Amino acid sequence: MSQYAHPEVLVDTQWLENHLKDPNVRIIEVDMSPEPYKDVHIPGAVFWNIFTDLLLPNLSINLDAKSFEKLMSRSGITNDTMVIAYGSYPGTGAWIFWLLKVFGHENVRVLNGGYQKWNSENRPVATELSTFPPVEYSAKAPDASLRVLHEEVQASIERSDRVLLDVRTLKEYTGEYFFDRSPTETERAGHIPGAVHIEHLLTLNEDGTFKSFNELQNLYNSKGITFDKEVFPYCAIGGRSGYTWFVLKYLLGYPNVRNYDGSWNEWSRLPQVEIQRYS
């Protein structure tokens, strides 16, 4: 991990096992359903539900500071707590890293390999639900420097100094799928004109860990996503693109990356914006 621009933002499974009882460490598991967590999870991990804890009913990310304070408080997280994030879906932990940084939480790390690697190594697991007494938490206003809004995305189309990076699946990019299924008559599928496509999963090894610095650099450079460009990743709802923001900014050290967290959920519903698709 020492090759990365900021290797300190990752912890490996051995480190986490050694710190399971550290009172200043809080482990967060994030998923779309609580059922896997209820079956088995890393000891001490608190569960966050993507749909009820992190998203609004319209599927945009909840960036209300008061809501975030309540979530952190009931999770037993103070402003000084070290948060270790992971999920059953690859890349979830890095999205949570972005979200916590948006609200100014400094002490956050990503579990390299997530639950996939933890489980494959037969490390300790628990079935009892983890709960902690509520604590005081104070969130900062959302950091606008970590986000890009749709007006600037639209203005960036065909600019040579900026890259719109679509990190969804190929079926989403081509317009065959709207999120995880075929689009209905009222849903607009495809991609932002000129967007480069690199699926976020291409950044991971088979065991769920991040690929090496050189492998990641070659992946992005091969598509013209170079260090000197300003990069705006997007996906369906801002999660996979938040993950890609983490990879580019913290693992590769790209200086100018902002997450378009509105992503396709917003873009596809905007009137009078262009959409490309392949038949």
DSSP state of 36: H
pLDDT tens, 220-244?
999 999 999 999 999 999 999 999 9
Q: What is the mean pLDDT of the chain?
A: 96
Residue 147: both structure tokens together? 């986000």
Report how far apart, in Å, the C-alpha atoms of 223 and of each of 46, 125, 181, 245 are. Answer: 38, 40, 27, 16
Q: Residues 6 or more apart from 241 whose CB is under 8 A from it?
A: 165, 167, 200, 233, 234, 235, 259, 260, 261, 263
The count of other CB atoms within 10 Å of the CB of residue 258 is: 20
Residue 153 dihedral angles phi and psi, to the nearest 5°: -60, -45
The residue type of 49 is N
pLDDT for 256 equals 98
The fraction of the chain above a pLDDT of 90, given in percent, is 94
pLDDT for 63 equals 98
Beta bridge partners of 86: 29
Q: Can you tell me the distance from the alpha carbon of 24 to that of 161, in angstroms, rounded to the nearest whole number?
A: 42
Active site residues: 235
pLDDT tens, 195-204?
999 999 999 9
Residue 259 dihedral angles phi and psi, to the nearest 5°: -85, 125
121-139 mean pLDDT? 95
Is the pLDDT at 279 greater than 60, yes or no? no
Q: Can you tell me the distance from the alpha carbon of 50 to that of 87, in angstroms, rounded to the nearest whole number?
A: 10
pLDDT tens, 14-36?
999 999 999 999 999 999 999 99
The band of 160, judged by pLDDT with boundaries at 50, 70 and 90, is very high
| Residue 26 near residue 96, CB atoms below 8 Å | no
Is the pLDDT at 1 greater than 70, yes or no? no
141-153 mean pLDDT? 97
pLDDT for 90 equals 77
pLDDT for 2 equals 57
The band of 194, judged by pLDDT with boundaries at 50, 70 and 90, is very high
